[in-house]
């Protein structure tokens, strides 16, 4: 006479065999449930047949495992299930949709098992062991196989994105270099409309030892795009592991939704550790290039300014485009600034205070009263500081006012990079780059 365990195993095999005879019908039913209950799986109707093949392969494996008492720990996911995971990764379907499909499939299969078991004349002492065996096999199998398909999904997603990113980067480089006519084909290849208004920006990490930050940078790029009023998804290209380029599609909008002051606050609050250079709004394919070029110039200025630069350097901000041109020959600019400002170009607090006062005084059309209101000082204090500044410089500011204003603007941006080291502190090593 068969033992209790043998009788339970025979009943499990009979139930699995009965279900396997209805494999085609059960596959269709569960496939329909997954397709209707998980919206992300409906992104591409062409994948419906592959979803069915994946369901069939998993059901067939589970039924045979139960029929022949195979250890589920040794099973591998069916080939169709692996391929379906790869295709979902290529389509950008979220991985949680794939995981949910396995859990929902397991729930529906359990209901079928209960129905099948209810139609059997089961001895009372066999009911629990039979259910335990079936549930254990299904749970172990689903857990093991879902982990396998998720790993396949993630590898394929990484590979696919790297491929797509490299192809996109090549096309963008060709357009920026003027080697490709930016027609409708180029827009389709980039999934980005070139005949519209653009706002280009460069986002990077100042700490080059922080590792691969591209995921953070890309997230910030999408966040920034939405904040500035993008009409559709932005175009993002990885320049290297710590730098990304982004074009915000503004459609017919002639200006971003928010100003650069708001953007600075937004970036500091949402993405600390990242800095940005923005190229301004331009139009059409040529504008696509132009905004990027301006962003590159703003970035060069931010890097030269180091810690003196704000978290967002905007090409459209007053003085940025001018100073960005002057840093192309930083040594010559440094010499020129010191020759124009002379004693005012010393890197110490007293000279900095005098430079600020003169800068506001000149911007106030040489009015001590107007400057005093902006600086929140008594007008006699402004008058005294302007006099002291002229003495430090060796002449007043009326003869070459434009040169003085420009030199002060350069000092405001570049600080120690162009200033004369304070001899009282010792001469520090000044570099033209680094920092932001």
Q: Which domains, from first to last, does the chain contain?
A: 4-160 (1.10.490), 193-317 (3.30.70.270), 328-417 (1.10.10.2840)
Which of the 8 DSSP states describes residue 69?
Answer: T
Compute the C-alpha angle 101/27/135, nearest 5°. Answer: 65
Please state, in angstroms and as integers, the Cα–Cα distance from residue 16 to each residue in 25, 55, 324, 404, following that order: 15, 16, 74, 90
Q: What is the pLDDT of residue 58?
A: 93
Q: What is the pLDDT of residue 432?
A: 38
The torsion angles phi and psi of 275, rounded to 5 degrees, stand at -130, 165
Would the pTM of this model clear 0.75, i.e. be above it?
A: no
Q: For each of the chain's 436 residues, which pLDDT tens digit applies?
A: 567 677 778 888 888 898 999 999 999 999 999 988 998 887 666 678 889 999 999 999 999 998 888 888 888 899 999 999 988 887 778 899 999 999 999 999 998 888 877 766 667 676 678 788 888 989 999 999 999 999 999 998 887 777 666 777 778 888 888 765 666 566 767 888 999 999 999 999 876 555 557 888 999 999 999 999 999 999 998 877 788 899 999 999 999 999 999 999 999 999 999 999 999 999 998 999 999 999 999 999 998 888 889 999 999 999 999 999 998 888 899 999 999 999 999 999 999 999 999 999 999 998 989 999 999 999 899 999 999 999 999 998 888 899 999 999 999 999 999 999 987 654 443 333 333 4
Q: What is the pLDDT of residue 172?
A: 86
Q: Rounded to whole angstroms, how far apart are CA atoms 247 and 197?
A: 10
Q: What is the pLDDT of residue 211?
A: 56
**Among the listed residues 288, 291, 287, 314, the one whose alpha carbon sits nearest the alpha carbon of residue 301:** 314
Which of the 8 DSSP states describes residue 206?
Answer: S
Q: Rounded to whole angstroms, how far apart are CA atoms 85 and 106?
A: 17
Q: Rounded to whole angstroms, how far apart are CA atoms 237 and 214?
A: 10
**Among the listed residues 428, 434, 365, the one whose alpha carbon sits nearest the alpha carbon of residue 401:** 365
What the block records as the tokens of 224 is: 């920034």
Contacts of 142 by beta carbon, 8 Å cutoff, 6+ apart: 102, 103, 105, 106
Q: What is the pLDDT of residue 185?
A: 61
Q: What is the pLDDT of residue 428?
A: 43
């Amino acid at each position: 006479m068969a033992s209790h365990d043998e009788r339970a195993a025979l009943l499990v095999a009979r139930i699995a065999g009965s279900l396997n005879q209805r494999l085609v019908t059960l596959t269709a039913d569960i496939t329909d449930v997954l397709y209707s209950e998980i919206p992300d799986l409906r992104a591409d109707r062409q994948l419906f047949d592959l979803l069915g093949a994946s369901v069939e392969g998993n059901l067939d494996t589970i039924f045979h495992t139960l029929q022949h008492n195979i250890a589920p720990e040794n099973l591998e996911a069916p080939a169709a299930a692996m391929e379906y995971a790869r295709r979902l990764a290529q389509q950008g379907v979220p991985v949680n949709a794939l995981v949910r499909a396995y859990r929902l499939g397991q729930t529906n299969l359990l209901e079928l098992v209960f129905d099948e078991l209810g139609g059997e004349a089961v001895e009372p002492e066999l009911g629990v062991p039979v259910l335990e065996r079936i549930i254990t096999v299904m749970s172990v199998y689903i857990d093991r196989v879902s982990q396998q398909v998720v790993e396949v999904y993630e590898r394929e997603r990484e590979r696919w994105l790297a491929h797509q990113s490299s192809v996109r980067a090549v096309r963008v480089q060709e357009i920026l270099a003027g080697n490709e006519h930016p027609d409708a084909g180029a827009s389709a290849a980039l999934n980005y409309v070139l005949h519209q208004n653009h706002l280009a920006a460069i986002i990077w990490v100042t700490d080059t030892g922080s590792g691969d930050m591209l995921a953070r940078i890309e997230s910030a790029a999408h966040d920034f795009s939405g904040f500035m009023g993008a009409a559709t998804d932005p175009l993002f290209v990885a320049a290297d592991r710590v730098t990304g380029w982004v074009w915000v599609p503004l459609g017919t909008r002639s200006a971003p939704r928010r100003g650069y002051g708001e953007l600075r606050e937004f970036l500091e609050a949402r993405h600390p550790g990242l800095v940005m250079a923005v190229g301004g709004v331009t139009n059409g394919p040529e504008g696509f290039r132009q905004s990027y070029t301006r962003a590159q110039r703003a970035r060069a200025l931010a890097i030269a300014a180091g810690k003196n630069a704000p978290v967002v350097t905007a090409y459209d901000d007053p003085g940025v485009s001018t100073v960005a041109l002057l840093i192309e020959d930083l040594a010559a600019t440094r010499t020129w600034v010191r020759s124009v400002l002379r004693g005012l170009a010393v890197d110490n607090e007293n000279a900095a205070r005098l430079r600020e006062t003169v800068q506001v005084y000149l911007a106030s059309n040489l009015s001590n009263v107007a400057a005093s209101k902006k600086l929140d000082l008594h007008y006699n204090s402004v008058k005294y500081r302007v006099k002291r500044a002229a003495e430090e410089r060796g002449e007043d500011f009326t003869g070459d006012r434009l040169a003085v204003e420009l030199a002060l603007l350069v000092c405001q941006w570049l600080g120690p990079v162009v200033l004369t080291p304070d001899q009282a502190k010792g001469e520090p090593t000044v570099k033209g780059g680094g920092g932001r």
